[in-house]
Amino acid sequence: MGEMEQLRKEAESLKDQISAARKAVHDVTLPEIVSGTAVVGRVQLKTRKTLRGHLAKIYAMHWGTDSKLCVSASQDGKLIVWDSYTTNKVHAIPLKSSWVMTCAYAPSGNMVACGGLDNMCSIYNLKGKDGNVKVMRELAAHTGYLSCCRFLNDSEIITSSGDCTCALWDIETGTQKTIFSGHMGDCMSLAVSHDFNMFISGACDYTAKLWDIREGACRQTFGGHESDINAIGFFPNGNAVLTGSDDGTCKMYDLRADQELITYQDPSIMCGVTSLAPSLSGRLILAGYDDFNCNIWDSLKAERVGVLAGHDNRVSCIGVTPDGMAACTGSWDSFLKIWN
C-alpha cells in the first residue's frame, strides 16, 4: 500500500474514532434537558436610534468596550466611529481601499482596524497627538481578502482571510507572529474568547475551528453545516460556540462535549445567515439574514421568539453591547439601527 493510501485510511479511521467518542458522551439531547423549561416570552425590541451617514452598503460593525462608541465600515470607503447615545459621528475615517469587509474596535478604545479586498488589515490610531486619525500600520501578508479582524490588545490583532488562514500579528513590527492553517476554504469570521487565550473561526469548508492562540494549534473542529459559515461567536460562558451559515441555520456546539447541541432552523427560512450575536445571558441569539430581517432565537428551546424588522436590505452585521443593553444591526441599506 502506498503511503498516500495508508494516510487516507488512517485519516478515515481517526474520523471514525472522533465520531464514536462524541457518540459515547451523547447521553442526552439539549431539547430533553430543557423540556421542563418554558420558552421565553415574545421579545419585542424597538429601534431607538438610526445611525445615518454612510453612502453605501455597510459590511461590518463592532462595539467598543464602553458599550457607547461603535465603529462601522461601508463600501463608501469610510470607517465611522459613532457615539450611539447621541448618533454623533466621532470620527469619519476615509479609507485607501473602499472594498472593506470588516472592522474592529480595540478593547482600549485607542485604535480601530479594517480590511477587505486589499488583502490587508489597516490599523488606525484614534488618539494621535494632533487629533487627526492616521493609518498606524498596514498589515500585509495574506494572499486573500481580509474577512474579519479582532484586537487582542493594542499590540496584537487576529485576522481571518480568504486565503484559508487566520493569523496573529504583532502590530508594532507589522509581522505575522503565528499563522493558523487547517481550514480548506475561505475563512469568513472569527471570535476571540473572553480570556484572550483562544479564538474560533468559521469557514467556507463548512467547519468551525477552535484555536489555541499561544500554541498556534487547532484544538477542535466542528462540522455539520451544509454550506459556508459566515458568522461565529462564543456563548457568554465561553464553553460553547454559535455559528451562522449560508445553509440558513445557526448551530450551537459545546466545546467540552466536542459536538453540536442544537440547530436553530425553520422551514420558512430559505436564505443565509450573515451575522449573529448572543444576548448577555446567552438566552437570546440575534441572527441577521439575507432576507433583510434579524431573527431572535431562544437559545435553549431553539424557537424563534422575535424579529427585528426595519432594514430595507440585507442585514450584514450585528453586535450586542458588552453591557448587554442594546443590539446594533448594520445593513446594505446604509443604515445602522440600535435596538432594545
Partner 1 sequence: MSTTNSIAQARKLVEQLRVEAGIERIKVSKAAAELMSYCEQHAHSDPLLVGVPTSENPFKDKKPCILL
- Closest separation between CB of residue 15 and partner 1, Å? 6
Cα(231)–Cα(276) distance, integer angstroms: 6
Window 163 to 182, contacts with partner 1 (CB under 8 A): 182
- Taking phi over 0 as left and psi of -120 to 50 as alpha, with beta for the rest, 31 belongs to alpha
Edge-to-edge strands, sheet with 120-125: 100-105, 111-116, 120-125, 134-140
- Does 280 bind partner 1 (CB under 8 A)? Our answer is yes
What's the burial of 99, exposed, middle or buried (CB within 10 Å: 0-12/13-18/19+)? middle
Alpha-helical (H) ranges within the chain are 3-24, 30-33
Shortest Å, Cβ 132 to partner 1: 29
Window contacting partner 1 (CB under 8 A); options: 119-127, 192-200, 252-260, 263-271: 252-260
Residue from 99, 236, 292, 307 binding partner 1 (CB under 8 A):
236
Those residues whose C-beta lies under 8 Å from the C-beta of residue 30, and which sit 6 or more positions away, are 252, 261, 262, 300, 302
Q: CA–CA separation, 330 vs 322, rounded Å? A: 17
Q: How far apart are CA 259 and CA 75, in angstroms?
A: 37
Q: Which of 59, 151, 235, 332 touches partner 1 (CB under 8 A)?
A: 235
State which of residues 160, 220, 275, 334 lies at the interface with partner 1 (CB under 8 A). Answer: 220
Cβ density class 254-292: b for 16+ within 10 Å, e for less = bbeebbbbbebbeeebeebbbbbbbbeebbbbbbbbbbb
Residue among 166, 213, 261, 276 that touches partner 1 (CB under 8 A): 261
- Position 37 contacts partner 1 (CB under 8 A): yes
Written as nine digits, the cell of 138 is 498596514
Residue 289 backbone phi and psi in degrees, to 5: -125, 165
Per-residue mark of binding to partner 1, 287-316 (x: CB under 8 A): ------------xx----------------
Binding piece for partner 1, criterion CB under 8 A, among 19-27, 147-155, 157-165, 193-201: 19-27
Confirm if 328 and 61 have CB atoms less than 8 A apart: yes
Task: Yes or no: say if 155 and 197 are a contact pair by the CB < 8 Å rule.
Answer: no
Residues 38-77 that bind partner 1 (CB under 8 A): 40, 43, 45, 48-49, 68
Our CB check for partner 1 shows the closer of 171 and 338 to be 338
Q: Is 117 a binder of partner 1 (CB under 8 A)?
A: no
Window contacting partner 1 (CB under 8 A); options: 121-129, 149-157, 195-203, 254-262: 254-262
Q: Which residues bind partner 1 (CB under 8 A)?
A: 3-4, 7-8, 10-11, 14-15, 17-18, 21-22, 24-30, 33-34, 37, 40, 43, 45, 48-49, 68, 84-85, 182, 217-221, 235-237, 239-240, 254, 256-259, 261, 279-284, 286, 299-300, 320, 323-327, 338, 340
